Amino acid sequence: MAPSNRNTNRRGFGAALKRGWNSKPAGIAAIVVIVLVIIVVLISTLLGVFAPANTDDQGTASKPAPTSSAAADGPCNVKVADASSTPKVPSDLTWKTGAAGLTWPVSKSVGPTKTVDGFDACFARSPLGAALAAQTATYSQYDGKHSVSSALGFYIADSAGKQKSIETSEKQPGAADTRAAGINPAGFTVDAFTKDRAEVTLVYSYPSSSTGYIGMPTSLVWTDDDWKISVLDNGELFTGNLTNPSENDFIPWTGADQ
């Protein structure tokens, strides 16, 4: 029986390869090929070590993504120096006087730190920042630079009760009545705080009360990179029952030129 073609081809290929390596011209050619291969491998290795990192279509290697804290800061970017729920009043606290003669506390370091659309804005994302934002928002209607509706329209967060709150506030007593009643910002308490929501009570001097003070609970939400007043769906600006705190029950606005 004749041998299988498959086996003959396999032996023939092996023998031809052996003969080729044993022949002098083929051996020289083989050595040249091996040297070229080694050179190519060495060059590829060196390029892999010293070449800059590859970048994808978005350039992620050359343009690292910003950190989460930097991305969260936004355009206000107010440094938080005191995150305590019983913060110390900053040394740069001063009092702003509105066109109607009423005054309220402000701080260059905590807020307001910028002007946005003509309004005092950009407060620290902290309990103290929330308290100052609440006070500025509440007294903005007495600033005189803007109408009550435009001021509250800026400082109140969008919600079901926003428009009703604006309409109700336009009918409230004005600056003259507030001065006549002896109502002035006295201090605050931080009742609850997260990075996205704050509950503060603004305390005012009020000679007619049993303690000489009145507390007005106010809710705020962090939106559009700043604190905004959060009103109830029925339009109520103050989100709890009014209180009559005593002098030692709140953090006073001190160190000011009132």
For the entire predicted model, the pTM comes to: 0.70
The pLDDT score that the predictor gives to residue 170 is 72
Q: Give the model's pLDDT for residue 74.
A: 55
What digits encode the pLDDT tens for the residues 171-208? 777 788 888 889 999 999 999 999 999 999 999 999 99
179 Cβ neighbours under 8 A, 6+ residues apart:
101, 102
What pLDDT score does 143 carry? Answer: 82
pLDDT for 101: 87
Count of Cβ atoms closer than 10 Å to residue 148 Cβ: 18
* Tokens representing residue 83 in the block: 């995150």
pLDDT at 36: 43
Give pLDDT < 50 ranges for the chain.
1-73, 256-258
Instruction: Tell me the three state secondary structure of residue 71.
Output: helix
**Using one digit for the tens of pLDDT, what is the confidence trace for 71-90?**
334 578 899 999 999 999 99
**What whole-number distance in Å separates Cα of residue 206 and Cα of residue 216?**
12
CB atoms within 10 A of CB 155: 22
CB 82 within 8 A of CB 88: yes
CA dihedral 182, 112, 119, 146 (to 10 degrees): 10
Q: What 3-state class would DSSP assign to 114?
A: strand
The DSSP bridge partners found for residue 187 are 203, 252
CB neighbours of residue 235 within 10 Å: 18
Locate the DSSP E strands across the chain. 93-97, 103-107, 114-116, 119-121, 184-193, 197-205, 213-223, 226-230, 251-252
